[in-house]
A and B are shown apart, each in its own frame.
Chain A
């Protein structure tokens, strides 16, 4: 039985992926390059991400019953679809690597100064990769439980900063000119493009009424909140971050009035750790989903072990020189990420216009329901029995229609065969 994620769960997933990676490591990197206008960069990149999300929403609307891999097969054929899935798997693995590094830096600088990389990494990787075998549905439920906690952490950070922010520090905007500031921003694109995770959920969503509207509104609210949060961060810490360590939790600790919020500080730190963990698991799920499409006959546990070994190896390689790792990401991985994050969605958009919608096919099979669940409606029916009854009746009427069709067809066949016999005679 296919299990589906609800619109609410999807919204939480999108919001978690919107904020988790960006708040810890990126602000301090950006401040060193773009200074106080970094929030503008954030806003532009988030809007770009939003456009990518719209492409995926379009795909989900046009092909509601198809998974991402099936859509790719429809667009490009089996071989190219597998290549695309492999590329996405690599992309998610790279993200995992980056998240892993960010998490380690963040812990090492703030929470757990004496932690060894292996003490940190091995349990984390084992838990994350084991959880990725639970599947999308279990993860969506986990996000549903944890989202209020992460939201609380975000709001705490937000309001603590808001009361201390002086927004005049952000003025004048683009003092050195817009293009001078933003000529090198593509190098930071890797920290964005989180909505690509939508590909895991295509075909697995149980859409509500006004599904698209809900997703769009919640994402826009998230983007606005995130931008304001970044305005707060850059207005308060625009100069101080250069002399300090890399993550935002450290920035929070060097607040002039940190003694007031000392009690809250560790709560915020803990909550960001939860956010990062969820984001990490999300990307592992993405990588796992993609590789499973490429190698469908392989044992799941073997695939998980291979992915685990790849990430562990990459971290073993990079943990000795983290700054160098960041440079690698900025220089080389950024091109790859631009291709995956923006070029591919544009391609999908173009191909979606040239391909027929899946709805006609659905009607041919007699599914009148707007719910693109198929099998899942049964699943839902077990839980929400009362609401399902009309659909069952509809399906009965569909059966009648199919019966009529088959009877007519058989009569025609009979006519043709009898004619042939007569002709033979």
Chain B
């Protein structure tokens, strides 16, 4: 075995002599020990007080094993013996490693500490009522936020590691007695198959979980708040937490999830229902409004009511562009402004958006380049896109496509595009869950929490559209019904068992004469054999005995 000092130096060399790798040599008497760790990712105070200080105070390491140091010398409970093959990985993850002479293994102290955000309200999921905690980049904190809410023995957490170079830890969280086992297995298989050098965000994992990764539509849900994640887990979904990402993935996903806000569950049902209808109207407006405006103005102006037509014609006189080019020009202009305001520093961004939206828009109208209705239509569709923040990228792309189709084929083109869109979505499945459920296929039970939200007391069962193993979620009348169902099931089972027994009896009865015949024939044959060859028969009997 090589010298301890060279071993430690070799380890540092293997890590390309990185400057943040710290080696501490502790010399007490003849025997030395080495402690090696990476600066910046360890809890320095804990390392100094509980690990290094006792080691310095100790008189001699002669005849000391790693087990002795772990149990007797160091005042630190979160320590473990690490095999040689895992040494490098654990060092990189933030362990402080202690080496002694004569032992290839190392003693690892879990002093991992990464600086990160504290738990705060996520900016895209702000609520008026309800909890305001949001996920952060630290996986342990994220798991604890869920554990805090789901105090349940059935909450199962499974650890996976993805990324050859990042070794990102991924955790699957689900309720063992509710989540569908097949889906859990499918998710695990898909994650285990990922062969990538690095995973920096949950988005990476999400892409691998999708059945159609080239589709513009999301097939994996996401959330930034633990209360939302918990509600999804309670419905039978699986949450996937990725280290370093504040976005938690959930599967399976249905399209209408994005119409539901966490606010809906902390306010009156009628208010939630009204808001959901508004969201649907907003989505329709954002996708169809520019295309419809172009189609009506270019091809179907006759079908507009007369007064409306006069107003539009008056305001669009003497424009240099036709409506198609006009709307496309405004859409592009607004999208550029939006991108610019996102990329710029916060206060400059506000100024840019004001200049762009108000001054540039108004000046363009006054200069006669674009019309008032055109600006209004694009602005309305632009605002309504962000009513569903999770769908904004898809919706803005669809808006552009529908504007193009409306300009080329008119209303007929819009219908064609809509049919294709709905047909495509109807063909979509996310982990055995129809994407457009509970609308198509229609699931009557799930209508309680679809467009119209019913009172919490009426939502006694889990959504049928999400595969799960326990239908009932609330202990009231439904439970009684469940018991009754179980009783009915038992009765049915008994009946079927009786049927089966009867049938088996009848089969046996049918077979009886044949059996009896065969037995009697056997006896006859035996007797004949006895009479013909008495010696053989005796031998056979002996053999049987």
CA distance in complex: A419, B529 (Å): 12
Q: Give the docked Cα–Cα distance between A120 and B409 (Å).
A: 7
Tell me whether A87 is interfacial, beta carbon within 8 Å.
no
The B411-437 residues at the A interface (CB cut-off 8 A) are: 411-413, 415-416, 419-420, 422-424, 426-427, 432-434, 436
Residues of chain A contacted by B500 (CB below 8 angstroms): 397-398, 400-401
Q: Choose the segment among A70-78, A188-196, A222-230, A382-390 that binds chain B (4+ C-beta atoms closer than 8 Å).
A: A382-390
Q: Does A179 contact B (CB under 8 A)?
A: no
Which of B114-122, B152-160, B464-472 contacts the other chain?
A: B464-472
Shortest distance between the CB of A124 and any CB in chain B (Å): 6
Min C-beta distance of B268 to chain A, whole Å: 27
Sorting the interface of chain B by its residue count into under 10, 10 to 19, 20 to 34 or 35 or more gives 35 or more
- Contact present for B522 and A419 (CB under 8 Å): yes
CA distance A262 to B536 in the complex (A): 107
Contact B306 A262 (CB under 8 A): yes
Q: How far is the CB of B120 from chain A (nearest CB, A)?
A: 38
Q: Does B128 contact A (CB under 8 A)?
A: no
Q: What chain A residues lie within 8 Å of B182 (beta carbons)?
A: 382
Residues of A close to B422: CB separation below 8 A? 142, 145-146
* Chain A residues whose C-beta falls within 8 Å of the C-beta of B508 in the assembled complex: 404, 408
Question: Could you say which residues of chain B place their CB within 8 Å of the CB of A137?
Answer: 427
Contact B441 A144 (CB under 8 A): yes
- Tell me whether B413 and A383 are in contact (CB under 8 A): no
Cα separation A277 to B416 with both chains bound (whole Å)? 8
Q: Is B518 an interface residue (CB 8 A)?
A: yes
Residue of A nearest to B532 (CB): A425
Q: Cβ of B468: which chain A residues have Cβ within 8 Å of it?
A: 385
CA distance A405 to B505 in the complex (A): 11
Residues of A within 8 A of B300 (CB): 111-112, 266
Q: Give the Cβ gap from B513 to chain A, nearest Cβ, in Å.
A: 12
| Complex interface: chain A residues within 8 A of B507 (CB) | 404-405, 408
CB distance from A96 to the nearest CB of B (A): 15
**CB of B358 closer than 8 Å to a CB of A:** no
Contact of A415 among B419, B489, B518 (CB under 8 A): B518
Q: Which of A140, A412, A425 contacts B518 (CB 8 A)?
A: A412
In the complex, the answer to whether B439 meets A145 with C-beta atoms within 8 Å is: yes
Bound Cα distance from A119 to B298, whole angstroms? 15
How close is B53's CB to chain A, nearest CB, in angstroms? 57
Distance of A10 from chain B, by nearest CB (Å): 12
- A115-B410, A138-B427, A419-B522 in contact; A404/B511 too (CB < 8 A)? no
- Residues of chain B contacted by A135 (CB below 8 angstroms): 427
Is A305 positioned at the interface, with any CB of B under 8 Å from its CB? no
A273-B412 contact in complex given A382-B432, A408-B508, C-beta closer than 8 Å: yes
CB contacts (< 8 Å) of A393 on chain B: these are: 489, 493, 496
Scoring B410, B423, B507 by chain A CB atoms within 10 A of each residue's CB, the highest score goes to: B423
Contact B439 A383 (CB under 8 A): no
* B210 contacts the other chain (CB 8 A): no
Chain B residue nearest in CB terms to A262? B305
B460 to chain A, nearest CB (A): 12
Residue A356 lies at the interface, judged by CB distance under 8 Å to chain B: no
Chain B positions within 8 Å of A423 at CB level: 525
> Roughly how many angstroms separate A115 CA and B518 CA in the complex, as a whole number?
85
Is A141 within 8 A of B440, CB to CB? yes
If the complex has contacts A123-B409, A270-B411, are A134 and B423 also in contact, measured as CB distance less than 8 A? yes
With a cutoff of 8 Å between Cβ atoms, the chain B residues found around residue A134 in the complex are 423-424, 426-427
For B525, what are the chain A residues with a Cβ–Cβ distance below 8 Å? 419, 422-423
A26 in contact (CB, < 8 A): no
Known: A382-B182, A408-B507. Contact between A141 and B434, CB under 8 A? Answer: yes
Query: Binding site of B, secondary structure by majority: helix, strand, loop or mixed?
Result: helix
Report A-chain residues with C-beta under 8 Å of the C-beta of B303.
111, 262, 265-266, 269
A131 near B522 with CB under 8 A, answer no
Does B305 lie within 8 Å of A131, measured CB to CB? Answer: no
Interface digits, A373-393 against B, CB 8 Å rule (1 contact, 0 not)? 000000000111110011001
Choice from A139, A389, A405 contacting B489 with Cβ under 8 Å? A389
B36 to chain A minimum Cβ distance, whole angstroms, is: 51
A176 at the interface (CB under 8 A from B): no
Task: Name, among A134, A141, A368, A382, the residue most crowded by chain B CB atoms within 10 Å (CB to CB).
Answer: A141
A263 interface residue, CB < 8 Å from B? yes
Interface status of A283 (Cβ within 8 A of chain B): no
- B440: which A residues are within 8 A, CB to CB? 141-142, 144-145
Could you tell me if A9 and B441 are in contact, using CB atoms closer than 8 angstroms? Answer: yes
In the complex where A119-B409, A135-B427 touch, is A270 in contact with B496 (Cβ < 8 A)?
Answer: no
Nearest CB of B to A302, in Å: 20
Interface: B321 (CB within 8 A): no
Query: Is there a chain B Cβ closer than 8 Å to A155's Cβ?
Result: no
CA distance A401 to B504 in the complex (A): 6
Are B423 and A139 touching (Cβ within 8 A)? yes
Q: Is A6 on the interface with B (CB-CB < 8 A)?
A: yes
Among B300, B412, B413, B439, max chain A CB count under 10 A is at B412
Q: Once the chains are docked, how many angstroms separate the CA of A9 from the CA of B434? A: 15
Are B433 and A142 within 8 A (Cβ)?
no
Q: Is B471 a contact of A273 with CB atoms below 8 Å?
A: no
Query: Of A107, A114, A139, A397, which contacts B496 at CB under 8 A?
Result: A397
Interface residues of B in 380-423 (CB under 8 A from A): 408-413, 415-416, 419-420, 422-423
List 7 interface pairs A-B (beta carbons < 8 Å), by A numbering: A111-B303, A127-B419, A138-B423, A146-B419, A259-B306, A383-B467, A394-B496
Interface residues of chain A, those whose CB is within 8 Å of chain B, are 6, 8-9, 107, 111-112, 114-115, 119-120, 123-124, 127, 130-131, 134-135, 137-142, 144-146, 259, 262-263, 265-266, 269-270, 273-274, 277-278, 281, 368, 382-386, 389-390, 393-394, 397-398, 400-401, 404-405, 408, 412, 415-416, 418-419, 422-423, 425
**Apart from A6-B442, A382-B180, A422-B525, 13 more pairs, CB < 8 Å:** A142-B423, A146-B419, A262-B305, A263-B305, A269-B411, A270-B411, A277-B416, A281-B423, A383-B465, A390-B489, A418-B522, A419-B522, A422-B529
Q: Which 5 A-B pairs have the closest CB atoms?
A: A266-B303, A141-B426, A386-B471, A138-B427, A141-B440
